[in-house]
Structure 1
């Protein structure tokens, strides 16, 4: 399917300029609300940016199903339509909302395009850096700079487990399993949680991480980034070794530079999962 990814990227950039950046470090207490917990937030900027992107996509791509994180919070049935829709645009208006709300400069805007159950494109925009990481299925992954220069992305070269640098999320594990995971990850060189999948995927796709580990698989958090990793030469699979698909919301996820590294990370975290 032919899709105008340049137009979609421009929509994300325009939304950030109109709704996200003007509110950064200018939110009042009333502009930030809890969704499910004190670490699961939504702001006026999230909602305004999603409305901007949704309305612009309705004009540019009128036949596409639009699935936004905030829209699904109001209508969970939207998730069920991704796998069967001819064309879907899945958007996270601000990934890293907790960072954004705290004034921390680490957040992004993400969009993935899914056709008949297959991810065909992904975009992660950094509003502060004003650049994109973009991938089209079968065409590679690229950093697109503000002036339009394109640089092909490649994942890191494989290293031994003790030299790995990775991003891991453990917050959805029970406490006993979390202790096991953190103990296992002590065997690697560095692990971190940036509280934004957008930037963790950007780091992985550009060769600055050796693995990622996620438990919760909402499509707006992972579809764009996983395609970036695959098109940059990396491996993406769920914990059981199966392919990650747009319809999956559980089963965990590990990314790595190659098959051997994926198996090494899976073996490392296995005590916390099995």
Structure 2
């Protein structure tokens, strides 16, 4: 018996086959889950389509969290097909480039608001829609980064945004816990993903992570997927409100 047999997983935030969310979707499928997958818009669809086919996604729908009604349509489709949801992966983060590449001190009001809405409030909205579909309990996972705890050079305003995401995760875990809905965050080390490449001097960040991590190796999306499977499985049924680090031990270094 596979770890996620008969479980329904909705994975949001796949940009292409090498994104963190893609690693989660593939790992879930490998462990027997049925997959619902989203893509942000028609331009992104061709980059996500191969993964949808690879995991046998039963639902493959657009979801731009800024587009009115698209999120509700996805959850309605999940309800219509399965009547329930067991696993939700929220792997979405965005900040306008002009604010991402500048000082926190100089971040615009509009850029900050947009980064918080897309990266954090979207998790709240998804949790609210997932709650009635998780009648028998479930798992909600979001993706964070060590820059939400400590100041990481060039991570800039996304540090405060990730800190807000982590606080939101803990509040959701507390509020949804009585319904046996667990909410956790995964904190991967630096990965060569499309999102990561938007950070200034990202190659330097990657090299430093490789040298400083106790395991002296870089994390892969497969490593993150394996952790997601573990947290979504029944073996982690008493784990909630936690941050699971997948960084080769990098976060323990001063």
Q: Which has the higher contact order (CA 8 A, sep 6+)?
A: 2
Question: Larger strand proportion, structure 1 or 2?
Answer: 1
Question: Larger helix proportion, structure 1 or 2?
Answer: 2
Compute the TM-score of the two structures, normalised by the length of structure 2.
0.29
Compute the TM-score of the two structures, normalised by the length of structure 1.
0.27
